[in-house]
Amino acid sequence: MRKTILNAALPLTLFYAFATARAQNPTPAPTPAQTATQKPAPPAWLDRRVRDEAAKFEGTVSLYAKNLDTGAEYSFGGDERVRTASTIKIAVMIEAYARVAEGRAKWTDELVLTKEKKVSGSGILQEFSDGLHLTLRDAVTLMMVLSDNTATNLVIDVLGADAVNARMQSLGMTETRLMRKIGGGGDSEEGKKEENKRFGLGRTTPHEMVTLLEKLERGEIVSPSVSKEMIDLMKREQGTDGIWRALWKTPKATKSGALDALRSNIGIIYHTRGRIALAVTCDDMPEPNWTADNPAYHLMSRLSEIVIDGLGK
């Protein structure tokens, strides 16, 4: 009888021992790295809808998007190398802010406008009188808010294209490179390579541009306060015809670029369904269209809405 009682009590004893051990040594909570890998998968319909829209477009489309609040991501050729056009000015801006933060430049440093330094295209400085004195801050602001090409070249003259690329490399951006000044001259070492000639002003991937935006939004470039300054400057960009076209009431931080056959939009849309970082490049269009109704702008607008539906929380 005693043996039977002992045999019956054994499982109960083992249970209490196991419970006591679990209480004393609970299962550790997942680390931030483990949590970060548990990203929600985008719905299957998202890729189908993006492909349907891209198929209607006369040209090539590359896109990468990420909800910075949930971690959900989507790529449609997002790791393909693309021409940047003026979106490379984000990299120039970052080098300027970093240089000032490091004490190797001042926002009050003077830049002088001359006839030789004026270039055509976007912006307004080409209409101003020769000999105009601007501060470095003025030039960077014009470069980002109006995408002023002349202001951009004035800033690149101060910084140097190779320094911009070195900064990108230090941030882990291996594909984002400034090749030269707008209109030519000031070639970087990357710009001198034959395989990079086809990119013109700059080269990147949509994925890297979204990564760069995420670093800025999270305060990881230079410092939290300086990153915020750069995001605030991007929030003031004028000319919103692309990814934010139908979302004009929604806050955004953006940079756009344009060439005869290309439109490129990069930005963070501060939507109620999350902060959606998005980079879209539409290239190889058969004919120039410099109106607000360029087909690429309408495509980018539709794609941004689709991406918000698919990645929004």
Over residues 229-274, the pLDDT tens digits come to: 999 999 999 987 999 888 888 999 999 999 999 999 999 999 999 9
CA dihedral 171, 282, 266, 51 (to 10 degrees): -100
Distance separating alpha carbons of residues 35 and 26, to the nearest angstrom: 18
Residues 60-77: what's their mean pLDDT? 98
Half-sphere exposure of 60 (CA within 13 A, CB side): 10
Instruction: For 105-131, write each residue's pLDDT tens digit.
Output: 999 999 999 999 999 999 999 999 999
What domains sit in the chain, N to C, each tagged with a CATH number?
42-80+205-313 (3.40.710.10), 86-199 (3.40.710.10)
pLDDT: is 243 or 88 the higher one? 88
37 pLDDT above the threshold of 90? no
> In 10 A of CB 52, how many CB atoms?
10
Please determine, for residue 203, whether its predicted confidence score (pLDDT) is greater than 70: yes
CA distance 256 to 285: 17
- What does the alpha-carbon distance between residue 187 and residue 78 come to, in Å, rounded to a whole number? 27
305 band by pLDDT with thresholds 50, 70 and 90: very high
Output the DSSP codes for 11-41.
HHHHHHHHHHHHHHSPPPPPPHHHHHH-PPP
CA distance 160 to 123: 21
Whether residue 21 has pLDDT greater than 80: no
Say if CB 270 and CB 252 are below 8 A apart.
yes
Q: Does the pLDDT of residue 226 top 80, yes or no?
A: yes
Return the sign of the alpha-carbon dihedral for residues 3, 8, 13, 15: positive
Query: Which residues are registered as beta bridge partners of 64?
Result: 75, 279
* Tokens 């495509």 -> residue: 299
Q: How far is Cα 204 from Cα 217, in angstroms, rounded to an integer? A: 19
Query: Does the predicted TM-score (pTM) go above 0.85?
Result: yes
* Amino acid 114: pLDDT: 96
pLDDT tops 70 at residue 210 = yes
Average pLDDT, the chain: 90
Return the pLDDT at 244.
84
Look at residue 44 in the predicted model and tell me its pLDDT: 92
Mean pLDDT of 196-223: 98
pLDDT at 8: 43
pLDDT(63) > 50? yes
What is the band of 145 on the pLDDT scale with cuts at 50, 70, 90?
A: very high
